[in-house]
Amino acid sequence: MDIKNGFVATVGNTPLIRLKSFSEETGCEILGKAEFLNPGGSVKDRAALYIIEDAEKKGLLKPGGTVVEGTAGNTGIGLAHICNAKGYKCLIIIPETQSQEKIDTLRTLGAEVRLVPAVPYKNPNNYVKVSGRVAAEMENSIWANQFENLANRNAHYETTGAEIWAQTEGKVDGWVAATGTGGTYAGVSMYLKDQNPKVRCVVADPMGSGLYSYVKTGEIKSSGNSITEGIGNSRITGNMEGAPIDDAIQIDDQECVRVIYQLLNQEGLFMGGSVGINVGAAVALAKQMGPGHTIVTVLCDGGGRYQSRLYNPEWLASKGLAI
């Protein structure tokens, strides 16, 4: 019998999908790790599970306890599902600029949701810092702290990275992904480099994020902005520290949207915005490396979470991104 033991056992082991139109266009194999097929709908289910199980193993999270986190949405959704499945409470602090779909989903899942103004990380009222303070003041609670908690990247080292290596039978030349916490990028890069130091590991970055300039010049500097959610950063998180980085590729929103609609119309894949940055960067990396290479990236979440924005022509036009 092939039966999964509940939500928790259903996280991970996602398919690796060949993106036909992008592969044909570049003469490379462009492969997307189908993280939108996780039971909570995103790549963040893996980090959420590892963070909770790490706290359980360390005796920090006790029955009836509360998991507190500051999140742009997907980590909160993963945590809320796992808290329900394991009998914990979940409290999420989220910037009010995030999509209504994600906020509504969190509430439907039973999480307590507190909206806070979107302010930069250096501001003490930034959502991440608020979540740390709230957790510190609450009895029987843990702060998931996904940006600094290395259980996050361990999830991707032990599962996502290992799965990609096994699924390609070690035939992977390039790995490219945008970073939010950096858990996915760092964990996978570290695993792949441990198997074969020649795998080219490249950070994909949206406009408005400082990592592209950091990789190119050593200085964190950003310009412009992006409609994408959950990615981009203006600091080196604990999860990114020590991660191998061979190069960085910047993708603007116009290219991101073009890629998203190619995924929808030619591949049949209904994807979230960060996937447009990832696949756009995979195509750029394929062009740099030349035909015959295998490039892997992540399909982080599905498009349903962005219906009112990315898939709303009027909203896109209001951002100067008419399709």
Active site residue ranges = 44
The first and second tokens of residue 71, run together, are 């999140």
Q: What's the distance, Cα to Cα, between the start and end of the chain in Å?
A: 47
Name the minimum Å distance from CB 173 to ligand PLP. Answer: 22
- Beta carbons of 257 and 313 less than 8 angstroms apart: no
Q: What is the largest CA-CA distance in the chain?
A: 56
Q: Nearest-CB residue to ligand PLP?
A: 230
Name the minimum Å distance from CB 155 to ligand PLP. Answer: 9
Contact set with ligand PLP (CB under 6 A): 42-44, 72, 74-75, 178-185, 230-231, 272, 274, 300-301
Handedness of CA 30, 37, 54, 237 (dihedral sign): positive
Name the minimum Å distance from CB 185 to ligand PLP. Answer: 6
Name the minimum Å distance from CB 64 to ligand PLP. Answer: 27
Name the minimum Å distance from CB 292 to ligand PLP. Answer: 28
- Pick the closer one to ligand PLP by CB: 95 or 230: 230
Q: What are phi and psi of 66, to 5 degrees?
A: -115, 135
- Pick the closer one to ligand PLP by CB: 202 or 293: 202
Number of continuous H segments (helices) and E segments (strands) in the chain: 13, 10
- Pick the closer one to ligand PLP by CB: 269 or 293: 269
How far apart, in whole angstroms, are the C-alpha atoms of residue 112 and residue 131?
Answer: 12
- Please report the DSSP string for 66-101 in residue order: EEEEE-SSHHHHHHHHHHHHHT-EEEEEEETTS-HH
H runs (alpha helix) in the chain = 6-10, 20-26, 44-57, 74-86, 100-108, 127-137, 151-155, 162-167, 183-195, 211-217, 253-262, 273-289, 313-318
- Pick the closer one to ligand PLP by CB: 33 or 86: 33
- Pick the closer one to ligand PLP by CB: 151 or 293: 151
